[in-house]
């Protein structure tokens, strides 16, 4: 397998209000190259495990598909997308702008039980920005020293977050958000022509894997074989990403898919390789030959 260099995430437009654990900002140039290699512009781009949704947002903002469908099971994450694409988006960006960030105020806000989807959305963004690694799963907690000793506010960029939400809200007519199970919803699109899917599931399979999904997401159990089966039945093309693990590579082989490795850096700046899976990954070799995006350096903490 040819080696490509690591991508500079600072050169990728940040569109999501989330700093998402396992987020795919570093994959943006690759996803664009994949979409550009398709014979037709997709009518619908589907992301069945949307999380922070950077790939979906990029596709919507850059007009790389007519429509974008984001799917996510988690209640907290779903509340954010429902609010941003709905009637309470303005309430949310104003709430972010007006919130006075301090340990005391964060604790007070997060102790109060949310009584509405929009409040849950605000609390989720607040947690995502003040919890260690942006992790929303049970067991996570407030960052202590934060970036450059700035403590709790080190990732709270109120104006930037507000602007990102406003930007997404302006384009809301292009997006559908569905809260539900990614595998069964993806299956419901299987027979549609000219749809494509970007599939980035929580990873808990594999004996050798780090089973990172368990620590990062509240929903982390998935029937990976069933997911591969649905992918194999899609009329349209797909791109999947996983941790580089033998069990996953075996599954890919079983279903007749091809795999390749893309280097990335995790939040601890360790260089790792992420597995990409598809029916045809020729675009990846073409991209390596052309190599415009392969020269950049990657800053995993830029969010
Ligand atoms: C690896 S993350 C996706 C990250 C995303 N690609 C990004 O760039 O932010 C996987 C996501 O799948 C969600 N998830 C877990 N089980 C799910 C299911 N059955 N259906 C839909 N989403 C699920 C998790 O909550 C998590 O947000």
Shared-domain flag, residues 249 and 109: no
Asked if residue 45 lies in contact with residue 68, where contact means CB atoms within 8 angstroms, the answer is yes
Residue 56: inside a domain: yes
The reported pTM is 0.92
Neighbours of 254 (CB within 10 A): 12
Shared-domain flag, residues 69 and 197: yes
Please give the number of the atom of ligand 1 that sits closest to the Cα of 18. Answer: 9
Could you tell me the distance, in angstroms and rounded to a whole number, from the CA of residue 287 to the centre of ligand 1? 27
Tokens of 270: 């360790």
Shared-domain flag, residues 140 and 266: no
Shared-domain flag, residues 89 and 142: yes
Q: What is the pLDDT, as a whole number, of residue 140? A: 87
Shared-domain flag, residues 101 and 16: no
Shared-domain flag, residues 209 and 278: yes
Shared-domain flag, residues 184 and 290: yes
Q: What is the pLDDT, as a whole number, of residue 146? A: 54
Could you tell me the distance, in angstroms and rounded to a whole number, from the CA of residue 71 to the centre of ligand 1? 8
Could you tell me the distance, in angstroms and rounded to a whole number, from the CA of residue 238 to the centre of ligand 1? 16
Shared-domain flag, residues 45 and 151: no
Please give the number of the atom of ligand 1 that sits closest to the Cα of 221. Answer: 16
Domain boundary among 123, 148, 170: 170
User: What is the CB < 6 Å shell around ligand 1?
Assistant: 20, 22-24, 48-49, 51-55, 71-74, 77, 181-182, 200-202, 217, 219, 222
Residue 301: inside a domain: no
Residue 302: inside a domain: no
Shared-domain flag, residues 188 and 270: yes
Q: Where are the alpha helices (DSSP H) in the chain?
A: 28-36, 54-61, 75-84, 89-98, 103-111, 117-130, 158-170, 182-188, 212-216, 224-233, 246-254, 282-290
**pLDDT class for 254, splitting at 50, 70, 90?**
very high
Asked if residue 126 lies in contact with residue 107, where contact means CB atoms within 8 angstroms, the answer is no
Measured distance CA(220)–CA(228) in Å, rounded: 16
Domain boundary among 150, 170, 190: 170
For the beta sheet containing 195-199, the strands, ordered from the edge strand earlier in sequence to the opposite edge, are: 175-179, 67-72, 44-47, 195-199, 238-243, 271-278, 258-265
Measured distance CA(89)–CA(96) in Å, rounded: 11
Q: What is the pLDDT, as a whole number, of residue 114? A: 82
Residue 90: inside a domain: yes
Shared-domain flag, residues 199 and 271: yes
CATH of the domain at 35: 3.40.50.150
Could you tell me the distance, in angstroms and rounded to a whole number, from the CA of residue 77 to the centre of ligand 1? 9
Residue 278: inside a domain: yes
- What is the distance of C-alpha 46 from the center of its chain? 12
Please give the number of the atom of ligand 1 that sits closest to the Cα of 16. Answer: 9
Residue 78: inside a domain: no
How many domains, in total, are found in the chain? 2
The residue behind tokens 């037709």 is 40
Residue 233: inside a domain: yes
Q: What is the tens place of the pLDDT at every residue in 7-63?
A: 555 568 899 999 998 899 889 999 999 999 999 999 999 999 999 999 999 999 999
Domain boundary among 121, 151, 170: 170
Measured distance CA(147)–CA(41) in Å, rounded: 41
Provide the CB-side half-sphere exposure for 30 (13 A, CA).
31
Shared-domain flag, residues 287 and 189: yes
Domain housing 130 = 83-170
Residue 131: inside a domain: yes
Nearest partner of 300 among 17, 18, 45, 21, judged by Cα? 21
Shared-domain flag, residues 189 and 65: yes
The residue behind tokens 């104006």 is 159
Q: What is the pLDDT, as a whole number, of residue 139? A: 85
Q: What is the tens place of the pLDDT at every residue in 185-215?
A: 999 999 998 999 999 999 865 554 455 667 8
């Amino acid at each position: 397998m040819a080696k490509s260099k690591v991508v500079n995430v600072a050169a990728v437009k940040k569109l999501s209000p989330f700093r998402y654990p396992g987020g795919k900002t570093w994959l943006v140039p690759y996803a664009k190259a994949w979409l550009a290699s398709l014979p037709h512009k997709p009518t619908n781009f589907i992301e069945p495990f949307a999380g922070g949704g950077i790939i979906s947002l990029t596709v919507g903002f850059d007009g790389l598909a007519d429509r974008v469908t984001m799917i996510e099971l988690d209640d907290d994450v779903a509340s954010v997308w429902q609010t941003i694409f709905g009637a309470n988006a303005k309430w949310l960006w104003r709430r972010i702008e007006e919130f006075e960030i301090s340990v005391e105020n964060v604790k007070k806000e997060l102790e109060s039980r949310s009584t509405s989807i929009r409040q849950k959305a605000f609390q989720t963004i607040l947690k995502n920005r003040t919890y260690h690694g942006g992790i929303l799963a049970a067991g996570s907690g407030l960052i202590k020293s934060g970036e450059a000793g700035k403590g709790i506010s080190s990732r709270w960029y109120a104006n930037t977050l507000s602007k990102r939400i406003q930007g997404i809200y302006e384009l809301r007519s292009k997006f559908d958000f569905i809260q539900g199970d990614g595998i069964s919803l993806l299956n419901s699109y299987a027979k549609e022509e000219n749809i494509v899917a970007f599939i980035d599931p929580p990873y808990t399979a594999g004996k050798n894997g780090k089973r990172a999904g368990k620590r990062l997401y509240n929903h982390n159990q998935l029937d990976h074989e069933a997911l591969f089966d649905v992918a194999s039945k899609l009329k349209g093309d797909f791109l999947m990403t996983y941790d580089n693990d033998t069990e996953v590579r075996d599954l890919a082989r079983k279903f007749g898919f091809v795999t390749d490795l893309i280097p990335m850096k995790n939040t601890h700046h360790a260089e790792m390789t992420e597995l990409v899976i598809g029916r045809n990954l020729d675009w990846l070799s073409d991209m390596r030959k052309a190599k415009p995006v392969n020269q950049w350096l990657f800053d995993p903490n830029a969010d």
